[in-house]
Structure 1
Amino acid sequence: MSKDDTTIPPRPRSWAYRAWDSDVAYSFRTSPVAMLAGLVAVIIIAMAALAPWLAPFNPYDPSQLNLMDGFTPPMEPNAFTGNTYWLGTDNQGRDVFSTILYGARISLFVGFSAVLFAMVLGITLGLIAGYRGGWVDSLLMRVADVQLSFPSILIALLIFGVARGFIPPAYRETMAIWVLIVAIGLSDWVQYARVVRGATMVEKGKEYVQAARVIGAHPIKILVRHILPNVMGPVLVIATIGLALAIIAEATLSFLGVGVPPTQPSLGTLIRIGQQYLFSGEWWILLFPSITLLALALAVNLLGDWLRDALNPRLR
């Protein structure tokens, strides 16, 4: 080879190519169940996000409602107005398809926000308990053990009721969604904290953490830059499955009448409304919101199961 010959270095791969060529992406592409669940979840989330543009009507705008359209069966013209609706109407004449889109929007917002709040709180407390140890670890874990002895839905009901007691009556409806997010988040932080605590106790004894301590790195820097990235795998799996549980918890609380206000009904509120008219023959008011909630929760659960297997090195 002459001196004039130069070797062209290989072109670096983009992050998109590396992500597509990763083991997790390959596992997703080769799993029909994961792909179908992902497609269903993406469709529901996209339709809920685009509800103002996709919904034929705004079910919360009184000017667009006609009580004469109430209890119209799906794809059948109303006897009084002659209007036809894809999925029928409810007792107030609201288009069920539109209410599902707007209701799923609220359910997803509450679910994502509650999971994010529980994840941040649980990760923070788990890192502190695992790294500090001693009485701090014992205190946090005893609180977690006490909370685990009660069903999470009862914890959420208790927190929701106590929080509403401190809110002035004039602000209860406007703050109801945020109170619901805090209630569900506080009832689900324990599982994140316990997993992160265990992983932190393992990681803090490894050489890279000891080296960071020797050079005088601050404990917060060690936790955030060194330990946290190595404990996020199990947390992502818990968060994915926890999203489905948070959506179901929100639907349960709304079904019991202690969730979002009736002026902004979620899927749980729609199911509660439909249940009142099930035995009088208006089955569609209950059926279609229930199918939407079932499909969303099942799709997210299946994605969580796939992610758990994909991130498990023993199954590769």
Structure 2
Amino acid sequence: MEKTPNPPSALARFADGDFFYTFKRSPVAVVSFVVVALLVLAAVFAPLIAPYDPFNPASLNLMNGFSEPMVPNAFTGETFWLGTDDQGRDVFSTILYGLRISLFVGFAAVMFALVLGVTLGLIAGYIGGWVETLIMRVADVQLTFPSILVAMLIFGVAKGFTPPEYRDDVAIWVLIFAIGLSDWVQFARVVRGATLVEKSKDYVQAARLIGRSPGSIMLRHILPNVLGPVLVIATISLALAIIAEATLSFLGVGAPPTQPSLGTLIRIGQGFLFSGEWWILLFPAVTLLTLALSVNLLGDWLRDALNPKLR
């Protein structure tokens, strides 16, 4: 009797699938993924990679201030890959630590917006009636304002309710809340439209006939079938959230000086640009541009890969 071969593993099925084949055939997607992966790994392992702890005052030497990239300091003789800022902090190390804050805020804000938007979109599309009208009118009103202004308003109001002694401690969480609350609309609108299509299909009607609750139908039956476009929006929104965080921090209403992000580093570097210390601004700005561009290109490829009309 012949032995039945073992079924292929999930990893093997993924490697042989159309999705991975499309990914391998797109040089832009591969390069973007590699760049994003390297930046994420660099941020995660920043304490191990960074040659200095830039936010430990005991490790700073003011004599190293304004050291040019790859040029020995005139006073200490130390050489820094990307130079130092006015306080003698290694720019390469500050970028790695700032990248951690920017990525954390971006990922957390997108997850918050995704959960809120998908939940409200499912409720609006499935229940309908005055609930749908209320949710969609709130979304329409929010769309009339630029998201960065909405985030600034929410950040200012939330920070105003926070006691002054705790503002720096909760600034990052307030920033995540502000950006996430300004970006939920696009998730809700897409999920609501997809839910309107899915709820009229036979499998949903069958679930109703056997007595499934509305919550169970939305979570177990409709949600898995609307996640495709949600993933695309989430990828593109990640780049927008990172840029929004950098914009708020550049304007001085984002990450606190004790936990600087890439936007904070750009704001600091901008003050020294015209005095000749160009590297303090250039390298954080290039890092932010590279991260946002790579995530955007990866999102564009993901949108095309998940579009059945383009297959």
Normalised by the shorter chain, which TM-score bucket? over 0.9
Corresponding residue for residue 132 of structure 1 = 127
Distance 1:19 1:110 in 2: 30
Whole-angstrom CA distance in 2 between matches of 1:53 and 1:29: 31
Match of 1:9 in 2: 4
Superposition map of 1:2-151 within 5 A: 6-151=1-146
SS at match of 1:53: helix
- Distance in 1, Cα, partners of 2:3 & 2:192: 48
1:257 maps to 252
User: Residue 9 of structure 1: CA displacement?
Assistant: 2.2
Q: In structure 2, give the amino acid aligned to 1:189.
A: W
TM-score under structure 2 length normalisation: 0.99
Q: CA deviation at 1:8?
A: 2.7
Q: Deviations over 1:85-132 (max 9, x none)?
A: 000000110000000000000000000000000000000000000000
Distance in 1 between residues matched to 2:55 and 2:272, nearest whole Å = 20
2:241 counterpart SS class: helix
Aligned counterparts, 1:102-251, within 5 A: 102-251=97-246
Q: How many residues matched? A: 311
How many Å separate the matches in 2 of 1:68 and 1:130? 62
Which residue is equivalent to 1:288?
A: 283
Q: Which runs of 5+ in 1 are unaligned?
A: 1-5
1:45 Cα deviation after fit? 0.6
CA-to-aligned-CA distance 1:3-31 (integer Å, 9 cap, x gap):
xxx23323200000011111111110110
Counterpart in the other structure of 1:3: none
SS in 1 for 2:226: helix
> Which of 301, 306, 309 matches 1:311?
306
What RMSD over aligned residues (CA atoms) do the two structures have, in Å? Answer: 0.6
Amino acid paired to 2:219: V
The code of the aligned residue for 2:122 comes to L
1: distance between equivalents of 2:16 and 2:267? 45
1:44 to partner: Cα distance: 0.6
Q: What is the aligned-residue identity percentage? A: 72
> One-letter code of the match for 2:284?
P
> What do residues 29-67 of structure 1 show as CA deviations (whole Å, max 9, x unaligned)?
110000000010011110011000000001110001011
SS of residue matched to 1:99: helix
